[in-house]
Amino acid sequence: MKKSLLSLLLSLLMVIALCSGVSCAAEEKKELTPVTLNEVAHSIFYAPQYVAIELGYFEEAGIDLTLVTGFGADKTMTAVLSGEADIGFMGSESSIYTYNEGANDHVVNFAQLTQRAGNFLVAREEMPDFDWDDLKGKNVLGGRKGGMPEMVFEYILKQHDIDPTTDLTINQSIDFGSTAAAFSEGLGDYTIEFEPSATILESENKGYVVASLGKDSGYVPYTAYSAKQSYINQYPDTIQGFTNALQKGMDYVQSHSPFEIAKIIEPQFPETDLNTITTIVTRYYDQDTWKDNLVFEKSSFDLLQDILETAGELEKRTPYEDLVTTEFAKKAIK
């Protein structure tokens, strides 16, 4: 009888402990801060971000992250300014444009992810001896006017003494994400593509990567995270937690092989096989795409404005101190 009573008491204690554990877990989950992140595109180019998502770094930082793809910097910026998204991930040129347009509550860049362009020049045939002069007189499917892909492309052309307006034809009439399909259907002699479109064109024998805009443009502050100044002021702990999680993703990418990275982010790209993901990660890995920290340096911001001026998209330069904060990125390194 005593033994039965003891067993019953032990069972009750186990149930209480289990319920208590569930309660604590539920309590902990409730404490996560919801954050909506709007990314300009869903691309392997942003591997460190997906590593942070897949390895649970955002949850560890107390953040319940909702990821939305904006399909264009203009759409991502609109989502942030309207409050539809808390944080935007896009080219920082958008923050300069909105600042110069007089936005009352302008966005501030607090973390830089990529330091090279992530797109590639694709031709219709293999060109092992490709030279940028080969584009003269040709038709190229380009990017949106005023967007980083197009401006970096034109920046490279000018570095090679090629006039983007007279020496070739750049078709900017096709929506972002549709150029690969248009190229497959016979439009254009060359196309500027992000991954996985460039590799898919190669796998289908419909195009061949002949140049990397990332390598030929040099180190460029291509994409960064930003939020409205009011959001940063109101939720500094959330911004810090978000940045800490990203830095862990950056650390992982810096210390692991392309295959290991590809394996981690594979669930983010269910329509792309692991071998293709690995090939793409290797391309980005080899060209030193990702910074080892998230600090957006002034020299990078100045280079960005140089590119905007060269493209004729900048009426006046904007103060680095107004549009960039390094406070959170520097703390995340420690």
Per-residue pLDDT of the chain (334 residues; tens, 9 = 90+): 444 544 544 454 454 454 455 444 444 445 999 999 999 989 999 999 999 999 999 999 999 999 999 988 889 999 999 999 999 999 999 999 999 998 889 999 999 999 999 999 999 999 999 999 999 999 999 988 877 888 899 999 999 999 999 999 999 988 877 899 999 999 999 999 988 899 999 999 999 999 999 999 888 888 999 999 999 999 999 999 999 999 999 999 999 999 999 999 999 999 999 999 999 999 999 999 998 999 999 999 998 998 898 888 888 899 999 999 999 999 999 7
Predicted model pTM: 0.83
Q: How far apart are CA 116 and CA 132, in angstroms?
A: 18
| Helices 93-100 and 298-310, axial angle in degrees (round to 10) | 70
The pLDDT value given to residue 14: 52
The structure tokens 């991930």 sit at 89
Q: Provide the token pair at 10.
A: 């032990």
CA count, 13 A, side-chain hemisphere, 200: 14
147 alpha carbon, distance to own chain's centre: 14
pLDDT of 94: 92
Query: What single-letter DSSP state applies at residue 293?
Result: S
In this prediction, residue 226 carries a pLDDT of: 98
Supply the pLDDT for residue 234. 97
CA pair distance 48, 70, nearest whole angstrom: 19
State the number of CA atoms in the 13 A half-sphere of 227 facing the CB: 23
Question: What is the model's pLDDT at position 27?
Answer: 44
User: What's the confidence (pLDDT) of residue 3?
Assistant: 46
In this predicted structure, what is the pLDDT of residue 11?
52
Which regions of the chain does DSSP assign to beta strands (E)?
Answer: 33-39, 63-69, 87-90, 107-114, 120-123, 139-141, 169-171, 190-193, 208-212, 223-228
Contacts of 85 by beta carbon, 8 Å cutoff, 6+ apart: 36, 37, 38, 68, 70, 76, 79
Whether 106 contacts 229, CB under 8 Å: yes
Cβ proximity of 303 and 159 under 8 Å: no
Task: Spell out a b/e string for 43-60, using b for 16 or more CB atoms within 10 Å of the CB, else e.
Answer: bbbbbbbbbbbbbebbee
pLDDT at 21: 52
Burial (0-12, 13-18, 19+ Cβ within 10 Å), 241: buried
